[in-house]
């Protein structure tokens, strides 16, 4: 008799966590590889769950796919690991429990972090390995991304008639991270052929039961739940769970009341948690009727746009020439020169002052704090750079929510230079997301949704710039990245500095089809030494030989060299304004008098080219 037939009339108990058990034994490595090197230990864990009352166990293959095994250099061991996992589970079961082949989700909180085509290839490989070994069914678990789960479920259903359990993981009780109500999601999975649908991971019994209250009994399929033991704690460098097994026992009746027929455990659960479920519910009759008061779907009324103090830069630069200037936050605590420069730049009539986020991984005063002071005390628009290097997803969202609260809505999303190039080469680079994903996430905030899909209560109003490096061998490839950033939600672009008219023309020819405007980067050179350093040691910057030769000729005259650098940049401004409306001036070494002179020059040249209206326009 298949376990589906048994589910017709009784509640079945599934096993609990495998990884938690292995971690508690000190196996903090690739748990799936242990199917090969520690097979007896894996079998013992399976037996412990069966002895605790589990009717169904799952193979130790949650992350045994090409994508995840590749992190350990084991991508060529997919077949060996999955085959061994099934054999271990079968040997432990000895016909006393059903064996489900487990396939886990790959996409997490990062939206679209892995392409569907990659997911399909990886899933098929693992699926075929499990099917060849003769599992009793499949368990698709811990899927945060509904698109991914629907994709792999469709593949699995075409390849086998075996029972399939399909489980989602929730960003918050009752709703997936893409805002799909969980009841709707499970109905869709049932429609695609899942025999059991349900929830696993992230939520403990309390919140999982809250979610289950919003789920109707499936018409054909059965309902499952695999709650976590608790929230994890971190003590003395190790994660651990403090969930009480008796708490699981006391919650058992509520899971039955909500219509669950397959009940197991996820992170933090042990054989004792499963024993608690089995003691109360094993072989119990399931409920066959359940009344759910579904909350009516919200009729979304378009909220008024979040209040902004300034028009978006992408609108300004499409209407008229616009100049923005980068003035780096100081590396020391004295801000006197920084604010002197900001005042001079304001008088020069720039549209925004841009503040880098520890560029080149060198520690500086927080750009958020200086941006707030620039806005409050000087009435200037701050444009805040946001690097993915220093903050995880939690920190990035918190930072952006803070910027919104302070009324700073202009941001530049960048991946950021790796920590090893900066002041602290031993520091870690976070990189939870890349600039592409960060742009997409900020757009999601503009819809009133957090990175995890939760309702923020109001919409942000960020105008999002993307970075553009034209100083590459193939500008065409660089433009492909721009197109990808536009698809993710970038409103406009700010480029690395350009040092030749030929490069300006090349960039224009390759980007003129883009709808998103570009602020072209220009930076005055201060000396031959400065030019050589930028050309040879700073990623993304290349300087024409002719310009380096001009600066080299003045190596013994620093004042004249700085003047020459300004004159070179003025010539580039003349060429740039024939092609672009946006000029982005980068201030070297807090030499704000140089960029202030260039900003005034750019405004004057724009006035001559386009009329008098622009020269009188200030921030």
Q: Specify binding-site residues for Zn(2+).
A: 201, 266-267
| φ/ψ (deg, to 5) at 437 | -70, -35
The DSSP string of 510-571 is: HHTT-SS-EEEEE-----HHHHHHHHHHSTT----HHHHHHHHTTTT-HHHHHHHHHHHHHH
Answer whether 381's CB lies under 8 Å from 463's CB.
Answer: no
C-alpha distances out from residue 374 to 179, 342, 369, Å: 37, 8, 9
What is the Cα 172 distance to its own chain's centre? 17
Quick one: which of 258, 285, 196 has its CA closest to 4?
196
507 alpha carbon, distance to own chain's centre: 29
Three-state DSSP at 278 gives helix
Beta pairing class for 492-497 and 518-522: parallel
DSSP state, residue 359: G
Strand-by-strand arrangement of the 260-263 sheet: 12-13, 260-263, 222-226, 196-200, 164-168, 137-143, 98-104, 56-58
Q: How far apart are CA 311 and CA 145, in angstroms?
A: 35
Q: Are 14 and 264 in contact (CB under 8 A)?
A: yes
Q: Which of 439, 414, 325, 432 is nearest to 361 (CA)?
A: 414
Q: Is the dihedral of CA 565, 568, 570, 575 positive or negative?
A: negative
In this structure, are residues 226 and 199 in contact, taking their beta carbons and an 8 Å threshold? yes
CA-nearest of 206, 217, 273, 303 to 21 is: 273
**In angstroms, rounded to a whole number, what is the distance separating the alpha carbons of residues 540 and 497?**
9
CA distance 539 to 549: 21
Q: CA-CA distance, 207 to 223, in Å (whole number)?
A: 16
- For residues 418 and 405, give the distance between their C-alpha atoms in angstroms, rounded to a whole number: 29
Pairing of strands 410-414, 56-58: unpaired
Please give the angle made by the CA atoms of 7, 288 and 194, to the nearest 5 degrees. Answer: 50
Q: How far is CA 249 from the centre of its chain?
A: 37
Q: How many CB atoms sit inside 10 A of residue 244's CB?
A: 13
Cα four-point dihedral sign 285, 290, 280, 97: positive
Annotated binding-site residues read 201, 266-267
């Amino acid at each position: 008799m298949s376990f589906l037939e048994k589910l017709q009339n009784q509640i079945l108990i599934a096993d609990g966590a495998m990884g938690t058990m292995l971690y508690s034994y000190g196996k903090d490595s690739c748990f799936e590889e242990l199917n090969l090197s520690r097979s007896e230990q894996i079998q013992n864990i399976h037996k412990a769950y069966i002895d605790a009352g589990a009717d169904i166990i799952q193979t130790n293959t949650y992350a045994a796919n090409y994508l995840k095994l590749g992190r350990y250099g084991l991508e060529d061991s997919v077949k060996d690991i999955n085959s061994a996992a099934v054999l271990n589970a079968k040997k432990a079961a000895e016909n006393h429990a059903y064996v489900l082949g487990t396939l886990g989700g790959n996409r997490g909180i990062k939206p679209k972090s892995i392409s569907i085509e990659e997911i399909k290839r990886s899933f098929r490989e693992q699926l075929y390995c499990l099917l060849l070994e003769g599992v009793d069914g499949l368990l698709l678990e811990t899927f945060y991304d509904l698109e991914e789960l629907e994709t792999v479920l469709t593949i699995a259903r075409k390849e086998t008639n075996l029972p399939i359990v399909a489980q989602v993981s929730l960003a918050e009780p009752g709703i997936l991270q893409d805002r799909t109500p969980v009841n709707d999601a499970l109905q869709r999975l049932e429609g695609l052929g899942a025999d059991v649908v349900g929830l696993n991971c992230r939520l403990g019994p309390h919140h999982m039961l809250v979610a289950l209250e919003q789920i109707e009994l499936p018409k054909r399929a059965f309902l499952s739940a695999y709650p976590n033991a608790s929230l994890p704690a971190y003590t003395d460098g190790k994660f651990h769970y403090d969930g009480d097994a008796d708490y699981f026992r006391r919650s058992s009746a509520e899971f039955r009341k909500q219509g669950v027929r397959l009940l197991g455990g996820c992170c933090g659960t042990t054989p004792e948690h499963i024993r608690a479920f089995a003691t109360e519910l094993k072989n119990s009759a399931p409920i066959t009727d359940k009344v759910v008061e579904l909350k009516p779907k919200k009729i979304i009324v378009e909220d008024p746009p979040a209040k902004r103090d300034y028009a978006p830069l992408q609108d300004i630069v499409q209407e008229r020439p616009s100049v923005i200037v980068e003035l780096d936050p100081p590396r020391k605590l004295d801000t006197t020169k920084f604010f002197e420069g900001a005042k001079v730049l304001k008088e020069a009539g720039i549209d925004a002052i841009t503040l880098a986020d520890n560029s080149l991984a060198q520690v500086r005063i927080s750009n958020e704090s200086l941006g707030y002071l620039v806005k409050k005390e000087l009435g200037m628009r701050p444009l805040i750079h946001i690097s993915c290097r220093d903050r995880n997803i939690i920190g990035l969202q918190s930072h952006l929510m803070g910027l919104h609260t302070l009324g700073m809505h202009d941001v530049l999303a960048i991946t950021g230079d790796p920590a090893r190039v900066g002041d602290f080469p031993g520091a870690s680079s976070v990189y939870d997301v890349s600039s592409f994903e960060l742009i997409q996430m900020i757009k999601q905030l503009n819809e009133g949704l957090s990175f995890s899909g939760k309702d923020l209560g109001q919409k942000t109003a960020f105008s999002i710039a993307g970075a553009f490096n034209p100083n590459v061998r193939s500008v065409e490839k660089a433009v492909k990245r721009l197109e990808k950033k536009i698809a993710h939600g970038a409103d406009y672009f700010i480029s690395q500095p350009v040092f030749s008219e030929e490069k300006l023309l090349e960039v224009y020819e390759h980007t003129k089809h883009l709808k998103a405007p570009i602020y072209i980067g220009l930076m005055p050179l201060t000396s031959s030494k400065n030019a050589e350093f930028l050309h040879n040691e700073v990623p993304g910057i290349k300087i024409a030989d002719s310009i380096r030769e001009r600066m080299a000729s003045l190596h013994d005259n620093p004042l004249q060299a700085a003047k020459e650098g300004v004159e070179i940049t003025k010539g580039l401004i003349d060429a740039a304004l024939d092609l672009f409306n946006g000029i982005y001036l980068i201030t070297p070494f807090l030499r704000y008098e140089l960029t202030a002179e260039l900003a005034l020059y750019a405004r004057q040249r724009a006035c001559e080219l386009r009329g008098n209206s622009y020269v009188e326009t200030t921030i």
